[in-house]
Amino acid sequence: MRIYVDSAERDAIQAALATGWVEGVTTNPTLLLRAGVQAADVPRLVRDTLAGGAREMHLQTYAEDAAGIVAEGRALAALDAVRGRVVVKILATPAGYVAARQLVARGLRVTLTAVYTVRQVILADAVGAAYVAVYLGRVRDAGGDPLALVGAMQQAIRAAGSPLAILAASVRESTEIEALALLGIATVTLPPAVLGTLLDAPATAAAAATFSRDARAIQ
């Protein structure tokens, strides 16, 4: 499983990348707003993030019409045109699917986001998207079973023999990634607060304390 940090906060991003097991970064307009990052500041954020070791960064378009999405997507991808580490995030709207097809035809990688049905996953595969982002917490808030949903999505992807990957988002508990891994989910993005709890293991901490004490005793 590839693990990402879901944030636009520079310090949080750099701390996550320093762990050695965080693959990259996902963002959206809401996260940028919370972090005080204006659209004009995005190129710098991308440069800093990629220089900090991110292997991939998902950046979301703002436009609502297909032509606007394509133009913004091309501009975002151009921020790392040589190495192609920017993935263009697009809302899974009718215009979004049209734009996704056009961007994929240009050789760009696309994430269709805010995906809530298996049908949307099938259509994402049809237009050649690389990822579908599914918001687990919001599915649960609406009374659904997010693990059952992503399990069905993953089954559809496997049945089609598709390279499409599910990007599980809106994860609120660190233990959820265990269930996601068992379902074969390829990628998960976590907010910094959840990311920071992944290594919580009292038994490991106790063992480390014992070994540290005993190591001092034999020196």
The partner residues of 167 in beta bridges, in order of sequence, read 133, 187
Q: Which two tokens stand for residue 110?
A: 């696309």
CB atoms < 10 A from the CB of 42, how many?
Answer: 17
Check 58, 85, 89, 109 and give the catalytic one: 89
Length of the chain: 219
The partner residues of 133 in beta bridges, in order of sequence, read 167
Can you spell out the DSSP letters for 163-197?
A: --EEEEE----TTHHHHHHHTT--EEEE-HHHHTT
Among 83, 31, 74, smallest CA distance to 53 is for: 83
By the 8 A CB rule, do 107 and 143 touch?
no
Q: Is 89 among the residues known to form the active site?
A: yes
By the 8 A CB rule, do 170 and 137 touch?
yes
**Residues acting as catalytic residues:** 89
